[in-house]
């Protein structure tokens, strides 16, 4: 059954006035998410406190993410940010022995490296995997970095700076063949691309709801493969990380047998209302349809941008890119501001203007982007 993309686009009122191409920075608010946030306010006013209902919202987010990732609900922790999830995981790892090395790709978001460097006083040795001449990271660079001393490898699915996509499954195989764990950062892909944690064979995955999952900030997830649960006990903890949150035991730490052991305090209740609605939108359409839609939009945009004389940092091959098209600029901050003044909302990083597509975008947004770039040609690289 074909999707009515026009009807889907109509759910996002911002698009009535703007060409919004910044979903990898912060996804648009739909009418469903707006209604969910209003329900939270109504519930608070009507009930005052509703702990059972609030925990139910967090559980709904957990169940929704499990379905999107092809995971079990017991393998999902609902956290307040991706950073919170990675920090909790890091606290569970021992760096005192011979396996004290952390391998981090140069495509990581700053958090994904900073947290591991913060483990250096605990004995961690961090090694970065550099880019190759074409700006990508070839597998042989991972081959050289990952060895018998490696405890964990962090790899991003899609680079936030240039939209390049890594072969996660191939990296995971290298790591597992050498006895290392694998953490996937899929913040820049989940909701826009299919992310099957079992097919990719990663041990952990982290992401959040504020970008392509169409929720809001302040709520995220950590996937922990159940085969790793018994081996890892975080030292970062809290009452919602306990086996029985109602025990209220101040004399012991009794971690949950599930991935909930990587949680901490009270769930981010209001954010879970929004996240549940956003995940519902994604699941209602289906990630396969969304991915195909975005692939067509970005492919067409890249061809038209190349024809317009733009230099791109994102590879054209479908398997090497995600939902972002990165356009090289001599002053990316200024060009982003000029586009915004025309109602074309993008973002910038690392000398690139980032046009980050979702399924609610259409050809009119590409038209507006190209017109804006042509009008400011002097700022193109």
Ordered by where they begin, the domains of the chain are 5-29+286-379 (3.90.1150.10), 50-282 (3.40.640.10)
What is the end-to-end Cα distance of the chain in Å, rounded?
42
**Model confidence pLDDT, tens digit, residues 358-370:** 999 999 999 999 9
**Model confidence pLDDT, tens digit, residues 80-125:** 999 999 999 999 999 999 999 999 999 999 999 999 999 999 999 9
Q: From CA 160, how far away is CA 352, in angstroms rounded?
A: 11
Compute φ and ψ for 273, nearest 5 degrees.
Answer: -55, -50
Higher pLDDT, 41 or 134: 41
What pLDDT sits at residue 316?
Answer: 96
- With beta carbons less than 8 A apart as the criterion, state whether 375 and 368 touch: no
> What is the model's pTM?
0.97
The CA radius of gyration of the chain, in Å to the nearest whole number, is 21
Structure tokens of 2? 């074909």
Mean pLDDT, the chain, as a whole number? 97
DSSP 217: S
Closest CA to 255 of 282, 280, 219, 231: 231
- With beta carbons less than 8 A apart as the criterion, state whether 90 and 147 touch: no
| Cα angle for residues 300, 305, 307 (degrees, 5° grid) | 100
Closest CA to 136 of 316, 293, 357, 307: 316
What pLDDT sits at residue 183?
Answer: 98
**Of all residues in the chain, what percent carry a pLDDT higher than 70?**
100
């Amino acid at each position: 059954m074909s999707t009515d993309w026009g009807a889907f686009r109509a759910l996002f009122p911002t698009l009535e006035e703007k060409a919004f191409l910044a979903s990898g920075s912060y996804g648009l608010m739909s009418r469903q998410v707006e209604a969910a946030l209003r329900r939270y306010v109504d519930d608070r006013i009507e009930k005052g406190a509703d702990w059972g209902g609030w925990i139910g919202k967090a559980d709904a987010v957990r169940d929704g993410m499990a379905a999107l990732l092809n995971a079990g609900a017991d393998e999902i922790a609902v956290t307040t940010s991706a950073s919170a999830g990675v920090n909790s995981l890091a606290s569970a790892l021992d760096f005192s022995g011979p396996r004290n090395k952390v391998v981090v790709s140069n495509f990581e978001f700053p958090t994904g490296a900073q947290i591991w460097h913060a483990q250096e006083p605990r004995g961690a040795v961090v090694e970065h995997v550099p880019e190759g001449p074409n700006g990508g990271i070839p597998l042989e660079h991972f081959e050289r970095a990952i060895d018998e001393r490696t405890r964990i490898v962090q790899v991003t699915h899609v680079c936030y700076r240039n939209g390049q996509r890594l072969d996660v499954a191939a990296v995971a195989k290298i790591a597992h063949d050498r006895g290392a764990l694998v953490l996937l950062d899929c913040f820049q892909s989940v909701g826009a691309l299919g992310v099957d944690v079992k097919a990719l064979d990663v041990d952990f995955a982290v992401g959040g709801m504020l970008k392509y999952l169409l929720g809001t900030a302040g709520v995220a997830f950590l996937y922990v493969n159940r085969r790793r649960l018994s081996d890892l006990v975080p030292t970062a903890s809290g009452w919602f990380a306990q086996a029985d949150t109602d025990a209220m035991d101040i004399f012991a730490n009794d971690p949950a047998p599930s991935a909930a052991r990587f949680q901490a305090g009270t769930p981010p209740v209001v954010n879970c209302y929004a996240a549940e609605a956003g995940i519902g939108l994604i699941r209602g359409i289906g990630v396969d349809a969304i991915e195909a839609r975005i692939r067509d939009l970005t492919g067409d945009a890249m061809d038209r941008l190349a024809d317009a004389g733009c230099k791109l940092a994102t590879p054209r091959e479908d398997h090497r890119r995600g939902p972002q098209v990165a356009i090289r600029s001599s002053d990316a901050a200024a060009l982003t501001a000029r586009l915004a003044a025309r109602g074309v909302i993008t973002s910038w990083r690392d000398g690139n203007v980032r046009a980050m597509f979702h399924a609610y975008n259409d050809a009119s947004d590409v038209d507006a982007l190209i017109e804006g770039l042509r009008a400011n040609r002097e700022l193109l690289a």
